[in-house]
Structures are given as structure tokens and as C-alpha cells.
Chain A
Amino acid sequence: MNCHTPEAKDTAPAESGHGALPSREELLLASRAVADGLREVRLSVPSIHCGGCLRTIERALGNVEGVAEARANLTTKSVTVRWSENIAPPQAAEALFAIGHPPHLTDSEAGGSTDKTLGELIRALAVAGFASANIMAFSVSVWAGAGPELRNLFHLLSAAIALPVLLYSGRVFYRSAWAALRHGRTNMDVPISIGVSLAFAMSLYDMSNGGPHAYFDATVMLVFFLLIGRTLDHVMRAKARSAVGDLAKLTPRGATVAYENGTSEYVPVGGIEPGMTILVTAGERVPVDGRVLTGASELDRSLVTGESAPVAVAAGATVEAGTLNLTAPLRLEATATADNSFLAEMVRLMNAAEAGRSAYRRLADRAAGLYAPVVHSAALLSFLGWAFATGDFHRAATVAVAVLIITCPCALGLAVPIVQVIAARRLFEHGIMVKDGGGLERLAEADTVVFDKTGTLTTGRPELIDPDRTDPAALSLASALAIHSRHPQSLALVAAQAARGGTKTNVADIREMPGHGLEARYNGTVIRLGRADWALDDPETVSAPLHHPCSVLSNDGRLVAAFAFHERLRAGAGEAIAALKDRGLGVEILSGDHEAAVRDLAGSVGVERFEARIRPDGKLARLKALAEAGHKTFMVGDGLNDAPALAAAHVSMAPSSAVDVGRNAADFVFTRDSLEAVPFTLAIAKRTRRLIRENFALAVLYNAVALPFAIAGFVTPLAAALAMSGSSLIVVANALRLKGRAKYYRKALDRPSPQAAPPHASTQPAQ
């Protein structure tokens, strides 16, 4: 079997590329004990994409010492590795990396097997399905005209099947209805529970009196149909949750702590106390807030504060948790525990902000709020009407039950989830994950889009300005130096050189001077790449473009070339903003970066309203002000500083490269590079809302037609069964219309973007 070209789709674009592999200590921390004295860890491997990968991975892991069992999963793109708990964790991560499938640890405990609610729903669904098929067999014989004895026998058998099923499968609805009633609210489950119980009780009474009509089939079928809707809704949310959990975790799980007696140990983040000495190597993220004891390096704070340019730090400087150490190892003194770090402060702001959002009531519940009183008073009125008109209470009760059954929100129960599930599926195919259906509903209401800058509108990585106009020899020389550094500008130089191709230059004795740049020997001279005031004897000779970060290449202190960088715009950013404006939405930028950079970018994508140097609580305040002015805000952001705003906004979206808390706070997460995911999701959300409304209209229409017949007393169990299935099928068919539309956006999204190519593409072994 051939491994076809790896798709760029579900690979987190930024971090996973040069992120470190999980160490064996981290594997141990993330693992859990399972049966037979084994420990198990689940690794997310985004590059799994075909059956061949499963085999390659399982074979490779089978040969790793200590691995007791390895099972790859194509659906969830993950590998479960088990080993005996008496030995150290196997080197599974290294083995996977070696065969071109770099793994990372995941957040999600789930993986499907531990999802208790889903298991319960599916079992309830299976039992209800089994029972409704059996009862229907009896009911059809009754409808076909079975004699009185046989009819009573069949009714008895139906009741015997229906009772345990209604108790077992119906629990889901009774519980939720009871919870709503206890809090003085109603939801869709209240009319369902009342309708099912009354219909069952009435049928039981009729059966014991040898009556001709019983509604056992209708009650069980109702539970079955409604459980389908409920299960689909849950599957959609569980899938998105586990997919988001599988993205690379950006906050470290632990850090190396150095003790005074000279030993060092890997300690989980929760175990780090203020006063401890932590070692943070280049390429690691700072685990807790701290102060630099020794070492000089540069920190990438883009995910924390939104600043795009790296910041130099030396002894005495304070560092925030979550910042990425770029160039040299640092020795830090922890000044706060993980619970008191900058990250925790953001989580506190987020929780406060989230309180405002819980006021939103979902469409289905709002419909139920209108629907339940109407249905129940219709049933009550027909009971009273028939009782007064005929004096026959049994007849009146039968009619009332028929009214409840015929109006029972079968179609309504499916109307919302089925559309949302299909919408979520469509979004998923385009690399966009939906956390819950409520997010789609809220997105359709949005009228103002607020973007973060660094990491959202831009990739957060610098790019060389005008690579074609730089001197090829100078670029080649600079990239020979730059390849030894993780500094973002170095990476940009290497990328520019790789894009152009050309000759490779060899240099010797490369040293990185943290906070300054790189130095090496080349043909007997000293060349330097880095800050102008360090690399040049006379820094005034450089005239860099204004307010662009800049590096110079020097030879024995004389200028060879100057390289200016700008932030690379995320693919599709301009198109996305234009599309949003076309739809009449307001667009704003809120950024923690400095004014000049924000103004530049706002100009290039055509956004008039922006604020720079804004703190997390400032973003929060701006969103609150917008909400108070009556706007429904849609926040798109990725950083730690955006997380409170993501939680506060009416609806929010984050790229998969966002910090963990940001991804968890957002309603949507998009995994591909293009920002056109934003208008695409909006288009789907609007269309979803329209289809849901159509479905509601269909359900209301159906009720308007069926209700008079029920009230007039013409509805038999057969008619009820036909009407119920018929209306459900219509609603499902209408929801399926969501497929195959919005072709324009699909084309835009599927355009392959070069930077989204997975990092292992070249190392993929041919099979």
C-alpha cells in the first residue's frame, strides 16, 4: 500500500514543527495505570493518514525495547503505547520521530473509550431501537385487523417491552426535564417526559379494559427518534473536544529543577514552589513566573503579550510563564507557583468573563419555552372541551393523549441537532472544529469581528522583506550562520535561502551570543549576524527601513548587508477581512504589540479601527463596551492575552497554534493556515440558522395541520405513527440540503498553502 502525499490539513502549522519531542519523564507523567501491571500513554500523531501508516507505526513500536503493546488509531490519529510499570517508559517518541511521524502528548483523557455519557446514550438508543422494531411488528398486526383476543395479547406484549425501555432509555429525558423544572425553567424534555408518561399510562388503562387503541409503539418510537438527535449532538461535541485536546500542548508539563546539593530533577509544573531554581533550555517554554538568575537570552513573548519582536533578557529580568526561550539556557528563580502565575491570572479573568455568556439560551430551549405551554394548554382544552361536550371522561382523556403524542416535539427534537451535526461535519472536513452547537447559533448573530494581530492575522513569525533584492552571496552567508539558531529572524533567513536555493556557504566556529547575534569565522575573518550596535564598529552606517526589525551581517566590523523583516500575514487574511466587510460586519484589531506595527498591518488588510499596546483587561473592556452598545462580538485570537477576551466575546475562534487555554475558551478552532476559515465558518453558521428556522417552520406547519385532526378525535395510533415518522423524515431531508453548498469558500480553503506543509514531509519513508 502506498502512503500518498501527506495532507497539510490537520497539522498544527506553527509549533509542532520545531517543538521538542515529549521526554520519557513527560511520558511517565502523562501515562496512567491500566490492567495487568501495564502503564498506558496516548500520543497524538497528526501525520497518520492511511492504513500503511498504521502498519509502519505498529511495526516500528513493536521493535522498541520495553513496549508491551502498541495500537495506532486512524480515526483519532493517535497511538496508544503500553509498557510494564516496573520499567522506565520506552523511547516511543524517538522511534516515532525516526520513521517520520512526530508525536506529541495530548490533553484529552478521552480517546472515546472513557466517554461515559456517549456509552450510555448509545446503549439507550440501541435498546430503544430494538424495542420499537419489536413493538412495531405487533402494532402492524393490530392495525392489519387482528381479532380482539390476539389484539389484547399483542398489546400486553407491547406493554411488557415498552415499560422497561421507557424506564431505561427514557431516563435521559426525565433527568434533564426534572433538572430544568427544579430550577423553574422548561426545556424540550419537559413536554417529552409528560407526553410519554401520559400516553403510556393511558394506553395501559385502555389495554386493561380491552380497548382497541394503544400508543405503546408511538411512545417507544418517540424515545428512539429523540435519542437519535441527542446522540448525534453529543457525538459532535465529543469529537470536537477530543480533536482540540489532541493539538500540541504549549504549556510545559514540568521543568528541570536544580537543587542546592548539585542534583537536578524533572518536576511537574504543580510541584514547583517559589524559590526553586529552574533550568530552561533554548526552545523550552518558561513553566512559571520567575526571575533570571544567570544567563542571557531572548524570549518570544508573542503568545503571552502579543508582542511580535523577541525581547532580550539578562540576569535580574522577570519572565512570565508561557514565554518561549529562544537562544540560550537560562537559570531562573521561580517567583510564583503555577497557580499564581500569569497564566492563572488569565484563567481567573476568563472565568469572570464567561459568566456573562451563560445567559445565552439555545434555540431549541427557547422554542420549547414557547412550545410547551401551547401544546399543554391545547391538550388540556381538548380534554375539557370533550369532557363538557360528551360527559365521557375516558373519551376526553384519549383525545388529550392523542393531542400530546401528535404534537410531541419529535421533529423539533431532531430539527436542531441534525442540522448542526451536518454543519459541524462540513466544517470538520475543512479543518474547523466546533465545540458545541450553541456556538454555531451565536456565530450567526455576530455583527462585529475583533481580531488579535500577532499569531492570528499574522503567522507570528517574521519574514525577510524583498528576498529577491538582497545580495545572494550575503544571504547565503547569513543563512549559513542562521541555521544554528532558533531565533525567529534566523529561521526567516534560512527559509528565504531555502526558497531561493543556490550555493551553500561553509563557516566555522559558530557561536551564539544571546541577546546580540551569531559570530563565526569565514576565510580568516570574523563575521557577525545580529544587532547593528554589536556587529558593526560604526552602527550609524545602517539605514534600515523605519520601524522594521532588522539584522545586519558584518565582516570584521564592516557592514556586508542589512536584512529587514516584517511579520508575515496569515494566508487569506486580506480576503477574509474583505469577505467579512462584504457581509456588513464591523472589523477591529486589538493588539498588545506596539502602535507602528499594528498601524502598518491594519493598513495592509484594510481595517480602520485598531488599538495597540492593549492589555488583556483592556481587550476585555473593549468587548464589554461593544456588547453594551448592542453589538454581538466575534473574537478571533490566539495568545494568552486574548484568552479572557475569547471567553468574554459572544462567540470566539482560535487557530490551532493558540495557547491551550485560548483553544479551550474558543467556540471554534481552525487547524489550517488560511484565515478564510473565518468567513467560511460564518457562512455555514448563517446557513445553519436558516435551515434550523426552516425546520422549525416545517414542524409548526405539521402541527398546524395535525392538531385539528387530533382535537377532533380522528387520530388513531396508526395515524400518529405515520405522522411522527413522516415529519421526522422531512426534517432530516431538509437538513441534508446543507451539503454541497458554499462552493466558493471550499475552493478558497482547499488551496494548499506552502507553509502548512507538515515538517516531516521530506523525511517520510517511501513504502
Chain B
Amino acid sequence: MSILIYLIPISFGLGAVGLGAFLWSMRSGQYQDLDGAAERVLFDDEDAPD
């Protein structure tokens, strides 16, 4: 069962990465316009998002 020494931190780390990614995306305003984001994906001549 010594594999647990690796597995537990890995599972915990993966979860933490997900949490961090969510908090970052929220802070950078990516949830401000969900309807707009769904439409903007169809623009093919736009410059990169900010």
C-alpha cells in the first residue's frame, strides 16, 4: 500500500490545480459574459481575446 504515499498527494494536487484554475478564471473576468463568450467563438476575423 506504499503507493498511497504518491497517489494521495497526486490526487490532492490535481484537485488543487482545478480549484486554482477556477479561482484564476473567475478573477480574470472570464465569467462576466457567458452568453457573449458563446457567440464570440464563432467570430473568425477577430483579434485575440484580452
Contact = CB atoms under 8 A, between A and B. Distances in A.
Nearest to A149: B1
Contact of A134 (B12, B34, B46): B12
B29 A74 contact: no
The B contact surface, by secondary structure, is helix
Nearest to B16: A130
A68 to B, nearest CB: 12
A71 B29 CA distance: 12
Interface string A124-140: 00110010011001000
B28 to A, nearest CB: 11
B49 to A, nearest CB: 10
Q: Which of A50, A74, A111 has the most CB of B within 10 A?
A: A74
Contacts of B35: 74-75
Interface in A47-77: 50-51, 54-55, 71-76
A51 B42 contact: yes
Given A122-B26, A133-B15, A134-B15, A75 B40 contact: no
A708 interface: no
Interface residues of B, number: 25
A553 B25 CA distance: 65
Contact of A51 (B8, B12, B34, B43): B43
A75 B33 contact: yes
A150 B1 contact: yes
B19 to A, nearest CB: 4
Given A51-B40, A51-B42, A130-B15, A123 B23 contact: yes
A157 B35 CA distance: 40
Contacts of B19: 126-127, 130
Interface string B30-50: 001111101110110010001
Nearest to A69: B50
A112 interface: yes
Given A55-B43, A122-B26, A150-B1, A130 B36 contact: no
Contact size range, A: 20 to 34
Contact of A113 (B29, B36, B38): B29
Given A126-B22, A126-B23, A130-B19, A54 B36 contact: yes
Contacts of A133: 15
A157 B19 CA distance: 18
A243 to B, nearest CB: 14
Contacts of B1: 150
Contacts of A157: 8
B18 to A, nearest CB: 7
A54 B32 contact: no
A50 B50 CA distance: 20
Interface string A1-44: 10000000000000000000000000000000000000000000
Given A51-B39, A119-B26, A75 B11 contact: no
B9 to A, nearest CB: 10
Nearest to B26: A122
Given A50-B39, A51-B39, A113 B32 contact: yes
B3 to A, nearest CB: 12
B29 to A, nearest CB: 6
Interface string A175-218: 00000000000000000000000000000000000000000000
Contacts of A74: 33, 35-36, 39
A150 B33 CA distance: 46
A252 B40 CA distance: 35
Contact of B36 (A75, A111, A123, A137): A75
A150 B1 CA distance: 9
Contacts of A111: 32
A133 B15 CA distance: 9
A245 to B, nearest CB: 16
Contacts of A130: 15-16, 18-19
Contacts of B33: 73-76
Nearest to A146: B1
B42 to A, nearest CB: 6
Q: Which of B11, B35, B46 has the most CB of A within 10 A?
A: B35
B32 A112 contact: yes
A69 to B, nearest CB: 8
Interface string A88-126: 000000000000000000000001110000010011001
Nearest to A141: B4
A1 B42 contact: yes
A137 B11 contact: yes
Contacts of A54: 36, 39-40
Contacts of A1: 42
B21 to A, nearest CB: 10
Contacts of B46: 55
A54 B43 CA distance: 10
Nearest to A78: B33
A190 B26 CA distance: 30
Nearest to B11: A137
A122 B39 CA distance: 25
B20 to A, nearest CB: 10
B36 to A, nearest CB: 4
Contacts of A126: 19, 22-23, 26
Contacts of A75: 32-36
A76 B22 CA distance: 22
Contacts of B43: 51, 55
A112 B11 CA distance: 33
Given A74-B36, A113-B29, A126-B19, 9 more contacts: A51-B38, A54-B40, A73-B36, A75-B34, A75-B35, A111-B32, A122-B26, A130-B15, A134-B11
5 tightest CB-CB pairs across the interface, nearest first? Answer: A51-B39, A74-B36, A74-B35, A130-B19, A73-B33
Interface of A: 1, 50-51, 54-55, 71-76, 111-113, 119, 122-123, 126-127, 130, 133-134, 137, 150, 157
Interface of B: 1, 4, 8, 11-12, 15-16, 18-19, 22-23, 26, 29, 32-36, 38-40, 42-43, 46, 50
18 contacts: A50-B39, A55-B43, A71-B50, A72-B36, A74-B33, A74-B36, A74-B39, A75-B33, A75-B36, A76-B33, A111-B32, A123-B23, A126-B23, A130-B15, A134-B11, A137-B11, A150-B4, A157-B8
